[in-house]
A and B are shown apart, each in its own frame.
Chain A
Amino acid sequence: MIQFIVRRLLQAVPIILAVAALIFLLFSVIPGTFAASLGDDGRNVVDAEVMARMNKELGLDDPVYVRFGKYVAKLAQLDLGTSFRTRQSVTSMLAARLWPTAQLTFAAMLFAMVFGVTLGFIAAMRPGSWIDTVSMIGAVSGLSLPKFWLGLLLMYLFALQLGWFPSFGYGNGGLSHLILPAVTLGVAPLALLARTTRAAVLDIMNADFVRTARSKGMSERRVVQWHLARNALVIVLTTIGLQFGSVIGQAVVVEKLFAWPGLGSLLVDSVTLRDIPVVQGTILFIVLLFLLINTIVDVLCAMIDPRIKYS
């Protein structure tokens, strides 16, 4: 297993490098510089001389290949560079934003897993029933709701009308501020997990080994416990792994809407301000997280289902 994990992590290296090169080249060709972004929609004028000096100080007047060389050299030393705007190391900025994003994504996924898997399981156990129909209509709706709209709707209902939760901000990191953004972010994976779980359970229910078990007189409880749940879990876990990555990416919208101080809002702000080192660092970090989560999911799947080999 350790060999498998090491191999997977080594496989991530070329992916990371390819992503790094792609982001670097992308931001080298798109117009707009950090100095120009300080113009703030025409509200301020940054004079040409200061802009030229700024570009020089930040190394932006070097040719692309020189900048890329410097970037790769730093990356090889695990140095993500220095932010143009805050002059702090990108690593320290990411570290400051990691915990709020972790809170948000884990809360969203917990919400999605608890309700999505339960709903999918119940729906599969009673196919064609009203609960099946309602939950699947809900799942389709949940998948198609734009997050921005859903977030505003939740804010309106639970902050403005009912006054149960604050509508924005991080507060002191407590639960009350977390609930609305987490639910906004968690609805889509909840819907997908409900559908996946239902499909997986239905598929396994019709499998030969389940029919055999039942014909041998195995109780329904044991069928569910030993065959349905265990086998469906592999599919559900794989979906959860993929959704985790997706949720981290989608946190961008939710964090901006709720003024949540995570990686997503850092990424948006850095793109707007052309703070390229931070953009590169944040995307690389998110890719790394995605790869890590999927490696963990693969390991878990192999542990649950002996038919899956680490190789």
Chain B
Amino acid sequence: MGAVSLGAAGLLADAAEAQTPRRGGTIRFTAPYGSSFASLDIHTTPRSQDEIWARAIHRTLYSWDAAANKPVLELAREVTVSGGGLVHTFKLRDDAYFHNGRRMTADDIIWTYTRLMDGAKAFPGARYARLIKGAIEVEKGQAREISGLRKIDDFTLEMTLTERIEPGFNFYQAVTSIYPVGEGNSESFAARPIGLGPYKFVEYVPGSRIVGERWERFYKAGRPYADRVVISIMGEAAARDVAFRSREIDASILGAAQYVAYRADPQLSRGILEVPEVFTRVIGMNPNFKPFADRRVRQAIGYAIDADLIIRRLLREKAFRATSWLPISSPAYDANLRPYAFDPAKARQLLTEAGYPNGIEFEITATSNESWGIPVVEAIIPMLQRAGIKVTIKPVESTVLAEVLRSGQFQAFMYSMVSGPDPATALRCFHSATPQSACNYALFKNPEFDRLLDEAGRTDDPAVRAENLRKANAILLEEVPMWWFNYNKAVMAYQPWLRGLQPNATELAVQNFEDIWIDETSPAK
């Protein structure tokens, strides 16, 4: 179902592209994730909320191709790989100009990645640039230059990696956006960012909106189409709904309740884009809490909960049933895997076999999030009770939950975790070498899983790699370090005049604005 949906979304975008794009007008987009933008220095903030505006102003070495569902070259025209898969030589674009009028060269990329590795500054993008040989030495203050980055000439860059992995998954991230040499450290930069993107920064009204105007020297001929883009910060779903219906905004991310209302409306239902995103909703179980050390107890949780009922009734079909960790939009998703069936009797039997004939009792730490928080826990409490499992809720705020997980101070937790787009990186969260403080929250250890993942990292054969990743994902289904109950279905409502939206599975709200155009029926002509 999910694959079909992703395909349908792709067709929708293609159909929009097939028409002749119109130049002019204003794109009125929204940043829907609660709070304001964290900063106008995109290197300091990895939040999706900030990635939305960054795609208008900035560009990265790679970008995400939503239709192909993979990273593609952006600031380079071609790349050749040598040195056993570790040396990547990029032929950079010679027509990419920063908004201050200066042409981008290899120096800008080297400077940017070196900035990210400044250990004194703690940039979140360091986790991606650490892949480059010599980057860690810069981070630790042992070197001033990243040895794995070499300028061959102004438009040729050699990058030597420490691992044989696809660098596109790392360098399409907005936190690795390319800055002009030296500019990022100036006082004015964080107030007036200078990028390579299709729109030039015009103004930022903190807490309200960011405005960009077309950068005439953008390297993609004829793009962007619209004259301006206005991205308004609108965290309140109800307010966004009114603004959308009154035609003041062109697109809105929908929650479960709005999804039902919009689907039922003959007009609004014509403009809905659905995408299976790379987020998996889970109940994680701490093996240091005695009952969860037994796999049968963890499996019993899976059998005791009617996940389909939750998706149908509580999430109003705004989710896809999960089988294992990797989501539908992952290249290594295995459509043949079957989730645990709802079977309370089987759950009871497993608990008895594990030595808990009278059931177990545990606490779930959760936030108030409607899709993967307390409302869902409340719904599964009676289901679990039928299998003899008593659950209590420990409510926390999302920032607190993030810390609770890293410190292991929980019996079980409910969370939404990033499970893509790169399946190898996503699965690494369950490698025994990954600490709990990173993302191995359930302290998973399985030698066969480790072997499959390590081999996948070593092989040159894409088919072998994909097979290993699928097998590793299947082990997770069997071992149940977490109960995977659904994959997020992201839904965007858009106005009939807005064209060229992309079904971005990594985050639907993040769009390449140069591909979007508005027709003459838009009120913001």
Contact = CB atoms under 8 A, between A and B. Distances in A.
Interface of A: 31-33, 35-51, 53-54, 56-57, 85-88, 93, 96-97, 151-152, 155-156, 159-160, 163, 166-170, 255-262, 265-266, 268-269, 272-274
A86 B404 CA distance: 26
B39 interface: yes
Interface string B20-57: 00000000000001111011110011111100000000
Interface stretch (B143-151, B160-168, B239-247, B338-346): B239-247
Interface in B494-516: 507
Contacts of B367: 41
Most buried by A among B45, B47, B123, B369: B47
Contact of B417 (A42, A93, A167): A42
Contacts of A54: 122
A165 to B, nearest CB: 10
Given A155-B242, A168-B234, A269-B35, A261 B418 contact: no
B236 A256 contact: yes
B232 A169 contact: yes
Nearest to A168: B243
Contacts of A37: 398-399, 402
A266 B438 CA distance: 30
Interface residues of B, number: 62
A78 B169 CA distance: 46
Contacts of A261: 205-208
Most buried by A among B44, B120, B191: B44
Contacts of B439: 45
Contact of A36 (B36, B124, B205, B402): B402
Given A40-B46, A259-B234, A47 B34 contact: no
A272 B233 CA distance: 15
B238 interface: yes
B49 A257 contact: no
Contact of B398 (A41, A257, A268): A41
Contacts of A32: 397, 399-400, 402-403
A96 B209 CA distance: 14
A64 B121 CA distance: 22
A35 B126 CA distance: 14
Contact of A46 (B124, B207, B238): B124
B205 A170 contact: yes
B435 interface: yes
A244 B44 CA distance: 37
Contact of B190 (A44, A87, A272): A87
B62 interface: no
Contacts of A272: 34-35, 399
Query: 6 closest pairs, A vs B, by CB?
Result: A53-B122, A32-B399, A261-B207, A261-B208, A48-B437, A269-B35
Interface string B164-208: 000000000000000000000000001100000000000001111
A46 B173 CA distance: 13
Contacts of B35: 268-269, 272-273
Nearest to B367: A41
Interface of B: 33-36, 38-41, 44-49, 119-124, 126-127, 190-191, 205-209, 232-236, 238-239, 242-243, 245-246, 248, 279, 367, 369, 396-400, 402-404, 406, 415-418, 435, 437-439, 507
Contacts of B417: 42
A7 B256 CA distance: 56
Contacts of B46: 38, 40, 44, 46
Nearest to A262: B207
Contacts of A260: 207-208
B54 to A, nearest CB: 13
A174 to B, nearest CB: 13
B436 to A, nearest CB: 9
B124 A85 contact: no
Contacts of A49: 126-127
Contact of B45 (A47, A85, A96, A156): A85
A50 B123 contact: yes
Nearest to B123: A50
B481 to A, nearest CB: 16
A256 B236 CA distance: 7
Contacts of A163: 246
Contact of B402 (A39, A167, A258, A269): A39
A45 B247 CA distance: 35
B124 A156 contact: no
Given A170-B208, A258-B239, A266-B207, A85 B418 contact: no
Nearest to B191: A88
Contacts of B40: 86
A24 to B, nearest CB: 18
11 contacts: A32-B403, A36-B406, A41-B369, A42-B417, A43-B47, A47-B127, A97-B206, A155-B239, A160-B245, A168-B232, A169-B232
Contacts of B396: 31
Given A40-B49, A53-B119, A152 B239 contact: yes
Contacts of A40: 33, 46-49
A290 to B, nearest CB: 21
Most buried by A among B127, B238, B402, B406: B402
